[in-house]
Structure 1
């Protein structure tokens, strides 16, 4: 993706559905890029802000599982979900931070029109993508480390480690907590270079992660 203009919408399918993908592509006037989970995460680095992520789920899964995916991808960009509509699921997804929830069974033209409307609203509002805080020249060369640093530097509040672990792995196989702790420790010099420090509060096998200014005042995680 180096040297390419960023797409309007990055589509991440949790379950492959080539027919739906082709119909959406043909019906959309908005530039779309279909990416795997890992490609959407690490490939996000260096793109312009304002990109929207469409998280598509063909198979009805427990709302809390899909909500967890929303929380993870929302660390990078605003997330719209396309799934089979269910009132309880819609509420859970919106509470998890979804920008919008669409019925994937609607016609491709309707879906594309709604995506276009969401994208235009984001661009008019000037709302930035969540990640994108670290200058490329100061980022680690290893892509998942660069992604983690980017996410940490742009946190706007405490987050559960599960949301970051899922992002750095996959929904089915998140990064282990010890591996995440070790990676954060190795990023300490990079964070210090940005005037930040990362704090972890561990409890019941999970960490709550926040980032503060090194001077002691709450920084971007406030």
Structure 2
């Protein structure tokens, strides 16, 4: 099993440390050729606009988009969630656009408005959340299907727990009425930074998802 971390910009080292705690080796991705043969990828927090521009410049954008659409498991945090979103606010052009959600950038304000809280993540439980200039999900695809249609959910997450969903997008967590974690098939998008805590459960959830696809 080969886990990759996009390492063109942002908090990629922190994700690597979390994987190390779980005993999972990983590789850093900075060029298109390195995408070959990976089983899962983490898109870290950072500056989504810069990351999107670098994906274009390094000729990685189309290849990565195709791999995700074809089932490559991905864990995306903060800026990574923005990269995945089909829609970003009202005007910004999407980057990878593989997750049928709309996100609002800097939804909680600038850096001084960053905060920490604890909230329930379905299938995991109470989880410490670090928000830094974070987005949140404002809208999702509006075609409802049954929970059974989402095939790529680790067994730790039950059908009963996933009653709150739209189409194949499953809401994993909300804070103050805003969606801050969701899963669409092979894609997990988080508005917060699990890599900035000592809690490895979300990364383990991702590894379990990767194992289902291997």
Name the TM tier (shorter chain).
0.3 to 0.5
**More contact order relative to length (CA 8 Å, sep ≥ 6):** 2
Higher helix share: 1
TM-score after normalising by structure 1:
0.37
- For the pair shown, which has the larger CA radius of gyration, 1 or 2? 1
TM-score after normalising by structure 2:
0.38
